Amino acid sequence: DIQMTQSPSSLSASVGDRVTITCRASQSIRNYLNWYRQEPGKAPDLLIYGASSLQTGVPSKFSGSGFGTDFTLTISGLQPGDFATYFCQQSYSAPYTFGQGTKLEIK
């Protein structure tokens, strides 16, 4: 199975800040990488697919990059609704494993 490792596990930031979350795969997954945001008690929402493609309806403050084993999610202009947990997922080969999550908290 492909292991996905996110860093950091938690992150404190202020409204208006720009943050970056990293996801590393245990082997190359080309650009088969998705990012989701999950608010407490809710299902995840798809933000980015194919490492850098913005899901329809997702604001351009979210951006993704990377190829192979190293990927990043950048969120600019943090708003209160952005303080949630973020997960990466590899869609290269089954089982389609997720990272352990990064909890973004208000400083």
Partner 1 sequence: QVHLVQSGAEVKKPGASVKVSCRVSGYSFSDYYIHWVRQAPGQGLEWMGWMNPKTGGRSDSGDFQGRVTMTRDTSISVVHLEMSSLTSDDTAVYYCARGGGACTNGVCYDYWGQGTLVIVSS
| Residues at the site binding partner 1, with contacts judged by CB under 8 A | 32, 34, 36, 43-46, 49-50, 53, 55-56, 87, 89, 91, 94-101
Q: What's the start-to-end Cα distance of the chain, in Å? A: 36
Q: What's the closest the beta carbon of residue 95 comes to partner 1, in angstroms?
A: 4
- Closest residue by Cα to residue 2 from 50, 71, 85, 69: 69
Reduce the DSSP state of residue 102 to 3 states and report it.
strand
Q: What's the closest the beta carbon of residue 81 comes to partner 1, in angstroms?
A: 17
Q: Give whichever of 15 and 28 is closer to partner 1, judged by the CB atom.
A: 28
Q: Give whichever of 18 and 27 is closer to partner 1, judged by the CB atom.
A: 27
Q: CA 48, CA 88: separation in Å to the nearest integer? A: 9
Q: Give whichever of 17 and 98 is closer to partner 1, judged by the CB atom.
A: 98
Q: CA 36, CA 33: separation in Å to the nearest integer? A: 10
Q: What's the closest the beta carbon of residue 18 comes to partner 1, in angstroms?
A: 25
